[in-house]
């Protein structure tokens, strides 16, 4: 039985296959409408979410399956003190697969050790968010036609942003990837990622503060929200929350074939005027997220592809 806890749990070849399956679902979703008839996904969300939880649920419903779960720790037995290990043993009796979001790093990994069903990490603290990464990879591959030879700007809260950590891990495996890491000094990518991934693999990267200066060289600009819930004090959050605001004036500095991604939710970091720019891809990215999660559920449940 396989779980997805970290984007590196799948090889590059397996990710290619998964993205191919997601693209064939996109091309003809009706063919896949019954491949998971009778199967259930449990969404165990101990932290708020709109997109990720609904996207998992939509994915399973689109495949003909059904959904159960909870959307906050308060509405689960966690509020009575139940451990993740016990909860997953119980949920294993009810569902065929589960997606777990948790504020503590490593909670989905602990769950996987006690589970009888595949566990998908739907975001654990400031650590990893592998299904957002699969979504990001599908978006980039669909828009640019490749996952190699790209200059990728990651902008905003690179310290606490788990989507950024997972995306760096995943993209670092492709040829010719260059990163421009755009953040205030306090919100830089953690050293463990620089040491274990970027330096260890000799990946070209630069840490800069100025977004304008970086714009012209980027193929992809990945904007992120400052992660308020992970700050130790509100003053620091307020000081940094509007450190970057992408607007039309900044978009003028970018190439015509650059695309803007954002895992969402957006707060102030992308001005709504940018939404009408054809290079704004963040709402298309949400749609890709459903196809990718459909492909992932099929893969982990080892469901037969329709002929």
Q: How far is the CB of 304 from ligand NCD (least distance, A)?
A: 30
Nearer to ligand NCD, 35 or 289 (CB): 289
Q: How far is the CB of 307 from ligand NCD (least distance, A)?
A: 34
Q: How far is the CB of 245 from ligand NCD (least distance, A)?
A: 16
Residue nearest to ligand NCD (CB): 263
284 is catalytic: no
Considering the candidates 39, 101, 141, 165, report the single residue annotated as catalytic: 101
178 is catalytic: no
Considering the candidates 43, 52, 131, 299, report the single residue annotated as catalytic: 52
Nearer to ligand NCD, 160 or 205 (CB): 160
Say which residues have a Cβ less than 8 Å from residue 202's Cβ, sequence separation at least 6. none
Longest dimension (CA), the chain: 57
Nearer to ligand NCD, 178 or 266 (CB): 266
- b/e for 3-18, b at 16 or more Cβ within 10 A? bbbbbbebeeeebeeb
Nearer to ligand NCD, 35 or 187 (CB): 187
Nearer to ligand NCD, 264 or 290 (CB): 264
- Helical H runs in 95-150? 107-114, 130-144
116 is catalytic: no
Closest CA to 127 of 147, 156, 101: 101
Q: How far is the CB of 264 from ligand NCD (least distance, A)?
A: 5
184, two tokens: 């205030």
51 is catalytic: yes
DSSP 183-228: --GGGPPPHHHIIIIIITTT-EEEEES-HHHHGGG-SEEEE----G
277, two tokens: 């720019």
Considering the candidates 129, 141, 162, 262, report the single residue annotated as catalytic: 129
144 is catalytic: no
Taking a C-beta distance cutoff of 8 angstroms, is the pair 142, 169 a contact? no
Q: How far is the CB of 99 from ligand NCD (least distance, A)?
A: 11
Backbone angles phi, psi at 202, to 5 degrees: 55, 40
Say which residues have a Cβ less than 8 Å from residue 126's Cβ, sequence separation at least 6. 105, 159, 160, 161, 162, 165, 227, 230
> Which residues sit at the interface with ligand NCD, rule CB under 6 A?
51-52, 123, 129, 132, 162-163, 225, 263-264
The C-alpha atoms of residue 178 and residue 176 are separated, in whole angstroms, by: 6
Known catalytic residues are 51-52, 80, 101, 129
């Amino acid at each position: 039985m396989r779980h997805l806890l970290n984007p590196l749990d799948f090889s590059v070849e397996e990710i290619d296959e998964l993205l191919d399956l997601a693209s064939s679902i996109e091309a003809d979703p009706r063919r896949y409408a019954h491949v998971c008839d009778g199967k259930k996904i449990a969404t165990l969300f101990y932290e708020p979410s709109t997109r990720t939880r609904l996207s998992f649920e939509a994915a399973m419903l689109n495949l003909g399956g059904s959904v159960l779960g909870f959307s906050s720790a308060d509405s689960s037995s966690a509020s009575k003190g139940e451990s993740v290990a016990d909860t997953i043993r119980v949920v294993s009796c009810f569902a065929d697969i589960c997606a777990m979001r948790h504020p503590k790093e490593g909670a989905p990994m602990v769950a996987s050790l006690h589970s009888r069903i595949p566990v998908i990490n739907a975001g654990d603290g400031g650590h990893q968010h592998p299904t957002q990464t699969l979504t990001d990879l599908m978006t980039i591959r669909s828009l640019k036609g490749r996952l190699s030879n790209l200059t990728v700007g990651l902008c905003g809260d690179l310290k606490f942003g788990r989507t950024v950590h997972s995306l760096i891990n995943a993209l670092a495996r492709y040829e010719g990837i260059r990163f421009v890491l755009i953040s205030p000094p306090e919100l830089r990518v953690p050293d463990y990622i620089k040491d274990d991934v970027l330096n260890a693999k000799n990946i070209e990267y630069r840490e800069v503060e100025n977004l304008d200066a970086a714009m012209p060289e980027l193929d992809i600009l990945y904007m992120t929200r400052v992660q308020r819930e992970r700050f130790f004090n509100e003053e620091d959050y307020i000081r940094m929350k509007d450190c970057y605001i992408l607007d039309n004036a900044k978009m003028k500095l970018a190439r015509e074939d650059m695309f803007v991604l954002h895992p969402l939710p957006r707060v102030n970091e992308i001005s709504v005027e940018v939404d009408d720019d054809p290079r704004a891809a963040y709402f298309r990215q949400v749609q890709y997220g459903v196809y990718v999660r459909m492909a992932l559920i099929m893969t982990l449940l080892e469901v037969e592809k329709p002929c």
